[in-house]
Amino acid sequence: MTERMFVQGNEAVGWGALYCGCDGFFGYPITPQNEVTQWFAHEFPKRGKVFLQSQSEVGSINMLFGGAAAGFRVMTSTSGPGWGLMQETISHCVAAELPCVIVLVQRGGPGAGSIRHAQMDYITATRGGGQGGYKNIVLAPSSVQEIHDLIQLGFHLADKYRNPLVILTDGILGQVSESIEVKTIDFGPLDKKLWALRGRERQEDGKSRIVNSAVGVLPLPPYPNYISWLKHIEEKYREMEGSELRYETYEAEGADLILVAYGYTARVSKEAVNMARAEGHKVGMIRPITLWPFPYSVIREKAMLGCKFLVVEDSLGLLIDDVKIGVEGRTDVHLVGILDRHIPTDGGMIMPGRVFEEIKRLL
């Protein structure tokens, strides 16, 4: 069944989750993601699904830990300070191999920062922000339709790899409304969650299960010790890197300058590319859809051809580090960042005109 709707980015989170069989949402109020939590409060209970407002973001993420362990598709949504609070248990979810989806609607930081849009949580989202140096796939939509689609892909990949997954949006994408197609997307079959807790007598084999994140303290079968288990998750990370890389290129063929951006600034950058192309400049764009794994090889390929790079992100420069890793020092990497907003306030934005100015300066 397909429905066409005119919805906000934050609401598209809900429609995407509903259409891919999400069982429970656990959340705590924080701006600018409140429409997400409110959508679930309105739409989930009447469909027999679970919505629960937790006592804190620490509560929300630990509810995901429990719900995922019981074999359900569970998710939460948060922003800046709430994201900080969730880090410990995201790490526990990786260790206990519990699939869940966390939507991070970015706002300005650090600290309480601002309650408006920004792109300042890139590093903690892509580098395993909690203890112990783990990995999780990060999906970065840049339209309301893509929010709906990537939530569904997110649940599929979380289940496939038994790993938490982050959907990284921002205050602009959350607030903007667009017309979208709402439908269930088929990503193929998944294994049954035979490892999940149901109560011993409800297990198909009648045997009890343990889900534990302290694998180095109490080894769990089939891993005889801590290092053999670490080898297993390392193999899982390598498989994610090998199979799940996603990106979009726009006018990148034959370009002298490549813009790199994700989320709302990718929309801005596309507009700037169009402005430049209209004046005959050879400018293109690479838009990573997975921020981890990151398309280093695609960046490297362009760097080897001598392309310059311009990173457009609403921060002091975080994504730019990944672009530099891809470029390996072969060419220049420039930034249009949060200091280039059209007005110097929390409500300011990076505008296409400002990006175009920088393009002209660099060419």
Answer for which of 9, 67, 174, 295 binds other proteins (CB under 8 A) is 67
Answer for which of 190, 214, 304, 339 binds other proteins (CB under 8 A) is 214
**Would you list the DSSP string of 46-80?**
GGT-EEEE-SSHHHHHHHHHHHHHTT--EEEEE-H
What distances in angstroms separate CA 77 from CA 13, 222, 240, one per listed residue? 9, 33, 23
Is the CB of residue 25 less than 8 Å from the CB of residue 56?
Answer: no
Closest approach of other proteins to the CB of residue 59, in Å: 5
Determine the interface stretch with other proteins among 135-143, 204-212, 223-231, 273-281 (rule: CB under 8 A): 204-212
Tokens standing for residue 31: 């701006």
Residue 193 within binding range of other proteins, rule CB under 8 A: no
Interface with other proteins: number of residues (CB under 8 A): 39
Residue type, 271: E
**Per-residue contact track with other proteins, 21 to 40, x per CB under 8 A?**
--xx-x--------------
Alpha carbon distance 338, 317 (integer Å): 8
Residues 70-129 that bind other proteins (CB under 8 A): 70, 72, 74, 88-89, 92, 96
Residues 125-164 that bind other proteins (CB under 8 A): none
Q: Supply φ then ψ for residue 333, to 5 degrees.
A: -125, 120
Alpha carbon distance 22, 15 (integer Å): 10
Tokens standing for residue 44: 């989930």
Closest approach of other proteins to the CB of residue 272, in Å: 44
Q: Which is nearer to other proteins, 98 or 275 (CB)?
A: 98
Q: How many residues does the chain have?
A: 363
Residue 273 within binding range of other proteins, rule CB under 8 A: no
Q: Which is nearer to other proteins, 26 or 122 (CB)?
A: 26
What distances in angstroms separate CA 127 from CA 138, 294, 322, one per listed residue? 10, 11, 11
Residue 64 within binding range of other proteins, rule CB under 8 A: yes
Closest approach of other proteins to the CB of residue 299, in Å: 37
Q: Work out the angle at residue 128's Cα, subtended by the Cα atoms of residues 196 and 119, and round it to the nearest 5 degrees.
A: 120
Residue 62 within binding range of other proteins, rule CB under 8 A: yes
Tokens standing for residue 298: 């695609």
Answer for which of 18, 63, 105, 333 binds other proteins (CB under 8 A) is 63
Determine the interface stretch with other proteins among 56-64, 119-127, 265-273, 328-336 (rule: CB under 8 A): 56-64
Alpha carbon distance 106, 41 (integer Å): 21
CA pseudo-torsion sign 344, 348, 354, 359: positive
Residue 52 within binding range of other proteins, rule CB under 8 A: yes
Contact residues toward other proteins (CB under 8 A) are 23-24, 26, 50, 52, 54-56, 58-59, 62-67, 69-70, 72, 74, 88-89, 92, 96, 197-203, 208-214, 218
